[in-house]
Amino acid sequence: MTTPDKDTPLIFVVEDEADIARLIAGTLAEYGFRSETFGTGRALLSRARREQPELAILDLGLPDMDGLQVLRELQENHPCAALILTGRDGLTDRVLGLELGADDYLVKPFEPRELVARVRSILRRYQKAAPPSEPDGPGAARFAGWHFDIGRLSLTHDDGREVSLSAAEAALLQSLLKRPNKILTREQLIGERELDPFDRSIDVRISRLRRKLEDDPQDPKIIKTVYGAGYLLCGTVEWVTGWVGNG
Ligand code: CA
């Protein structure tokens, strides 16, 4: 797909070190992104109540609160894509960040071009998760009692349960739904995205999806693990509007 210039995505950055904040803002501007920078988590969250960004770049060590808490509150109230950019490179922070719905994790010091590559990759996945609007509206899929509204990143069950997905989770679910009852490898599920050495992110997202979709996430009936091969979505998928399945 092509992205028109007028739809330049808005990126929020929270970073309390002024030099790094300037470097990030300068890099994003240089590569044509719109961004706003905040020195505290509260400032970003308060701004997000009035305007929702497509992506948030989050430092973890902030003066007023932990960046993971910022991520948690964003996911609950203003879901958007998220990239953690931090000096903390502990495995716990990485896994926790991805568990909470971050789309990627980059450790300082970083190469500005690496940051731009990650940002582009996340936004590309986000745009895939929300297909460009078509005359008959954004797509939706029905499977296993769930209704998946792709454009709104939301899932509603026939029994009334409602859950929202991060952009990365929605993109992953969409990949599974497009090829039901077929084993998909991690590489196929990652898609065009350049392979990350930390590709446990797929497994983390699968387990998050299971907690949202499955009656018993320990004994999944919808998304099955095929040991040594990948994952498989069981059952019938019905595409409701505006989206070509079996692609
Ligand atoms: Ca900091």
Residues 58-115: tens digit of each pLDDT: 999 999 999 999 999 998 888 789 999 999 888 888 888 887 888 889 999 999 999 9
- Whole-number Å distance, alpha carbon 71 to ligand 1 midpoint, is 15
Residue among 43, 44, 37 nearest 22 (CA): 37
* Phi, psi at 90, each rounded to 5°: -65, 145
8 Å CB contact between 21 and 13: yes
**What is each CA distance from 195 to 85, 121, 136, in whole angstroms?**
19, 11, 35
Instruction: Please work out, in degrees rounded to the nearest 5, the angle formed at the alpha carbon of residue 219 by the alpha carbons of 214 and 221.
Output: 55
Nearest to 241 by CA among 152, 117, 163: 152
Question: What's the pTM?
Answer: 0.59
CA 62 to ligand 1 centroid distance, Å? 5
H or E segment and range at residue 124: helix 112-129
pLDDT in tens, 128-177: 555 444 434 458 899 999 999 988 889 999 999 999 888 888 888 988 99
- Residue 170 CA to ligand 1 center (angstroms) comes to 30
Taking residue 138's Cβ as centre, other Cβ atoms within 10 Å add up to 16
Please identify every residue whose CB atom is under 5 Å from ligand 1, which is an ion. Answer: 16, 59, 61
